[in-house]
Amino acid sequence: MRILVTGGAGYIGSHTLVELLAAGHEAHVVDTFANSSPEALARVRQLANRDFGFTRADIRDGEAMARVARDFAPEAVAHFAGLKAVGESVGKPLAYFDVNVGGTVALLQALQAEGCRRFVFSSSATVYGDPDYLPIDEAHPRRTTNPYGRTKLQIEGILEDLAVADPAWSIALLRYFNPVGAHASGRIGEDPEGIPNNLMPYVTQVATGRRERLIVHGDDYDTPDGTGVRDFIHVVDLARAHVAAAEWTGRGAGCEAFNLGTGRGASVLELVAAFRAASGQAIPVTVGPRRAGDIAASWADPARAARVLGWRAELGVAEMCASAWGWAARNPAGYAGPERNPD
Ligand code: NAD
Ligand code: UFG
């Protein structure tokens, strides 16, 4: 099928492109490279050994989106493009509402005009806030504490309203838990700008010597070792879930939510131990205070995705750490630096 991939040069989008192309789908990417590099797309082409279309355009540009929708005539869309830094969203809420909410509305208007009504949206477990119970299923109440999370809630609401207004829409809301890891080749991976906010990219930068030590944000949570517990999910598993969801939009109807996680939690210290084992690197850690806004524990009940999409996560924390290290060792400066070729 023909799939339009917004934000396809980004971390999750680039891995999804590889899996979509491997599954025989035809793809067209829209990206501004606001938080990514053209090099990611070049490497996807090499890895997949297949070409795909690309338009450098902003999802907020309704005319550009209409042109892409007309020329490529997608049967389905995987919508990754957007801003994603929780802390930044607190200082710049209007930018987040503009890009995430405004951009999604502009994209949907273009798709509606061109008759494409199959949509896969990158939502987040952040829509569950501090969970009332574990594991978290899709019926868990939705709430949020920051502007980034509010954009995800608002977009979910817009998509639900759209499916009510026009039953021809078939929409999958994919609520990601904690995506980590990289493609097994080590050629594409997560490449954040500046100091990483998230655990795994911080750990890999300690491993490559870019940072001295990991600060563990609190070890006095009500968890087995006192550190935060998350449902880390391998980005390649996540990418494959998008293939399953895009295919499901051809069978399904309405707007349906799916948790994408493994169903198992791992603590910060467990992840660090697994990374040490996978990489052979020391990873010094210091325990610091809790980080504002953090929750103690979060993990998914992923049964619905298994039942309806026929997808389940297959890769564990060892593979997540080995692949994250494979990417970092080969690309210690991310896409901006030279690629080391250990082969
Ligand atoms: P990313 O920043 O690596 O990818 C986003 C891509 O969108 C980038 O290539 C960026 O250049 C592009 N982009 C940004 N603004 C754009 C615009 N206005 N027009 C066109 N392109 C634009 O992020 P990611 O980690 O791959 O996340 C992808 C999606 O998944 C996001 O919507 C994010 O909110 C969501 N998500 C991510 C995580 C995570 O932990 N990475 C967790 C839950 C949900
Ligand atoms: N952590 C550290 N040190 C660090 C970074 C993180 O100890 O340098 C800890 C955190 O305190 C937390 C765990 O590692 O206990 C995971 O933190 P991340 O920042 O990697 O992930 P979060 O679960 O906090 O946040 C992620 C996404 C958000 C999303 C949220 C809820 O980054 O975008 O999940 O879905 F909103």
pLDDT at residue 342, rounded to an integer: 57
Kindly report the protein residue whose alpha carbon is nearest to atom 36 of ligand 2: 126
pLDDT at residue 281, rounded to an integer: 97
Q: Which of the ligands is closest to the CA of residue 145?
A: 2
Which SS3 state, helix, strand or coil, does residue 26 take? Answer: strand
CB of 182 closer than 8 Å to CB of 232: no
Name residues whose C-beta falls within 8 Å of residue 92's C-beta, 6 or more positions apart in sequence.
Answer: none
Looking at the CA of residue 295, tell me the nearest atom of ligand 2: 15
Pocket of ligand 1 (CB under 6 A): 7, 9-13, 30-36, 58-60, 80-82, 84, 99, 103, 122, 124, 176, 179
pLDDT tens sequence across 26-60: 999 999 999 999 999 999 999 999 999 999 999 99
pLDDT at residue 254, rounded to an integer: 97
CA of 335 to the centre of ligand 2 (A): 23
Give the DSSP letter string of 305-325: IIIII-------HHHHHHHHH
And the tokens for 138?
């899709």
CA of 168 to the centre of ligand 2 (A): 37
Count Cα atoms within 13 angstroms, Cβ side, for 95.
12
Residue 343 binned pLDDT confidence (cut-offs 50, 70, 90): low
Calculate mean pLDDT across residues 190-211.
Answer: 95
pLDDT tens sequence across 59-74: 999 999 999 999 999 9
Q: What is the pTM of this model?
A: 0.98
Give the DSSP letter string of 135-188: SB-TTSPP--SSHHHHHHHHHHHHHHHHHHH-TT-EEEEEEE-EEE---TTSSS
pLDDT at residue 161, rounded to an integer: 98
What is residue 250's DSSP assignment?
Answer: T
- Extract long-range pairs of 110-113: CB within 8 Å, 24+ residues apart: 110/62, 110/65, 110/66, 110/68, 110/69, 111/65, 111/69, 111/74, 111/77, 112/166, 113/66, 113/69
CA of 197 to the centre of ligand 2 (A): 7
Among the four given CATH numbers 3.40.50.720, 3.30.720.210, 3.40.47.10, 3.30.910.20, the one describing domain 2-335: 3.40.50.720
Looking at the CA of residue 31, tell me the nearest atom of ligand 1: 21
For residues 232 and 211, give the distance between their C-alpha atoms in angstroms, rounded to a whole number: 22
pLDDT at 200 over 80: yes
CA distances in angstroms from 305 to 24, 261, 309, listed in the order given: 22, 9, 5
Calculate mean pLDDT across residues 105-131.
Answer: 98
In whole numbers, what is the pLDDT of the chain averaged over residues?
A: 97
**Phi-psi bin for 211: left (phi > 0), alpha (psi -120 to 50), beta?**
beta
Active-site residue set:
148
Residue 341 binned pLDDT confidence (cut-offs 50, 70, 90): confident
